[in-house]
Homo-oligomer: A and B are copies of this chain.
Amino acid sequence: MENTVFIFGHKNPDTDSITSALVMENLEKKLGNENVKAVRLGNVNKETKYVLDFLGLEEPELIEKIDDGQEVILVDHNESTQSVDNISNAKILKVVDHHTMNFVAPYQLYYRTEPVGCTQTVLYKMYKENGIEIDKNIATLMLSAIASDTLVLKSPTTTSDDKKIIEDLEKISGLKLETFGVNMLKAGTDISDFTPEQVINIDSKLFEQSNKKFRIAQVNTADLDSIFKNQSYFEQAINEDIEKENLDFYVFAATDIINSNSKIISLGNDAPVVERAFGISVDNNTAMLENVVSRKKQMLPPILNALNNDVNL
């Protein structure tokens, strides 16, 4: 395994992070870079498992830390808080992403990001640019990740590039987004055998911005009530995280993938920031965010905006 380049997405990996690592491994090998390996920084969620099982693929190997000087390729993230713990001691060769940027590298590297809905949309273009054929498995991985990140092209994060590419991926994979994609999303909402702690960590991201440290966690659901009947258990798990990580606040969003709304639980000393961010009243630590489904486009920006206005007062 010496000199193997690790390829991985962010912690608490979602379908884009896992499948982009697998697709990037394939692309690198097709480009002649044999010594690369897709790995993961956390458990595979049920949505992603649905995709891997459908294709008969194994989960990538879990890594928890890397050696100093390890060569890596980052997909679907760039911020060190979302990467492997000792990322600052790694040598980052490439980044392929679609998120906001907070990135420092004191050396030259390959970095490619675009304002699109999914990392796989960028990877699709890289296959095309390099004249490399996208086979049925790769197309299925790409289609799955775009379906996941854009909630089958219904999230406001969806771009015309994502839509155009899905048409081609449906042809290559022989799958329909409206059936395969929705079944995949529904498989991801099954939290029946999860502890509250596990649920809030399915897709939780840590942010350190505007002098505040906070998490926004998101879980997809087809049934909000089944989640909020256990609100007190979730609050306990969230408060434990707040204490453990010294967070200023924590927003947990249960996103209704059928009706395209999100109901949040907001806790921590700075929890009232969500009232200013979304122009809402929080009642019993919860509030409904109508038509809000995207953390990146609809949750994080208003929260950052509210935090910055606080600073500027």
Contact = CB atoms under 8 A, between A and B. Distances in A.
Interface of A: 98-116, 129, 209, 296, 301, 304
Contact of A113 (B104, B108, B114): B108
Nearest to A113: B111
Given A108-B296, A111-B112, 9 more contacts: A100-B106, A100-B107, A103-B104, A106-B209, A108-B114, A108-B115, A109-B115, A111-B113, A129-B129
The A contact surface, by secondary structure, is: mixed
A41 to B, nearest CB: 22
A105 B115 contact: no
Given A101-B103, A104-B101, A110 B113 contact: yes
5 contacts: A99-B108, A100-B106, A101-B109, A109-B115, A111-B112
Count copies of this chain in the complex: 2
A101 B112 contact: no
A98 B112 CA distance: 12
A39 B99 CA distance: 28
Give 6 nearest A-B pairs by CB, closest first.
Answer: A108-B115, A129-B129, A101-B105, A111-B113, A102-B104, A110-B114
A296 B105 CA distance: 13
